[in-house]
A and B are shown apart, each in its own frame.
Chain A
């Protein structure tokens, strides 16, 4: 019930391409869905987040698509750059509660 699934485990994209990472959740009570970016040896940094009353949110090159009925959400990184190479975690939470993190996707953007 609390699990968040994430795929793919790793992703290699050419510079300028689109990176797509997918997540699925089980608990329909979750009401906050953030994406975090983590570089080696650093803590996660919030990239973008969405609430279930919105189907899409865009911030710069980053877009979250949310499908409430399917209990799925995805991160799209447009015009991917080598500097985007990092591990990305999706997460889900109930407001005020701890996050449940997906297992992570290691993204490598080739120059």
Chain B
């Protein structure tokens, strides 16, 4: 089946630094990538939607200058958390939609900002 590889699985960074999270579709082409954030014991909240080769669309309340999304190819999308602060600590998950339909989630990245 379709697999989305997400890295890193865990990252701890100092406040003020930037962190990049990668999602790769391993055996299919992802026309659309969704990025979610999940706080402990809560549901997944959509942060942004990106289509290959175009700018991401951010949900209301999500700072586009803080959460930089790049979807440069049909197999790779990245989320960069810039100038991270402790309140950005969360579980970040990507989801890829294949060209023929179907959605696959990555395994998630646990970000801890200290």
Chain A interface residues (CB < 8 Å from chain B): 34, 36, 41-46, 89, 95-96, 98-99, 101-104, 106
Residue from A36, A42, A103 in contact with B108 in the complex, judged by beta carbons closer than 8 Å: A42
- Return chain B residues, CB-CB under 8 Å to A41: 91, 108, 110
A-contacting 9-mer, from B14-22, B39-47, B68-76, B79-87: B39-47
Interface contact A43-B32, CB-CB below 8 Å: no
Judge whether B67 is part of the interface by a CB distance below 8 angstroms: no
- Return chain A residues, CB-CB under 8 Å to B110: 41
Query: Which residue from chain A places its CB closest to the CB of B40 in the assembled complex?
Result: A40
Chain B interface residues (CB < 8 Å from chain A): 6, 32, 34, 41-46, 49, 91, 93, 95, 97, 101, 103-108, 110
Measured CB to CB, the closest approach of chain B to A55, in angstroms, equals 22
Interface contact B32-A103, CB-CB below 8 Å: no
Known: A95-B101, A98-B34. A43 touches B106 (CB 8 A): yes
The majority secondary structure among interface residues of chain A is loop
Interface contact A96-B43, CB-CB below 8 Å: no
* Residue among A34, A95, A99, A102 with most chain B CB within 10 A: A99
Interface contact B103-A46, CB-CB below 8 Å: yes
Known: A43-B93, A44-B93, A96-B97. A101 touches B43 (CB 8 A): yes
Measured CB to CB, the closest approach of chain A to B81, in angstroms, equals 18
Measured CB to CB, the closest approach of chain B to A60, in angstroms, equals 16
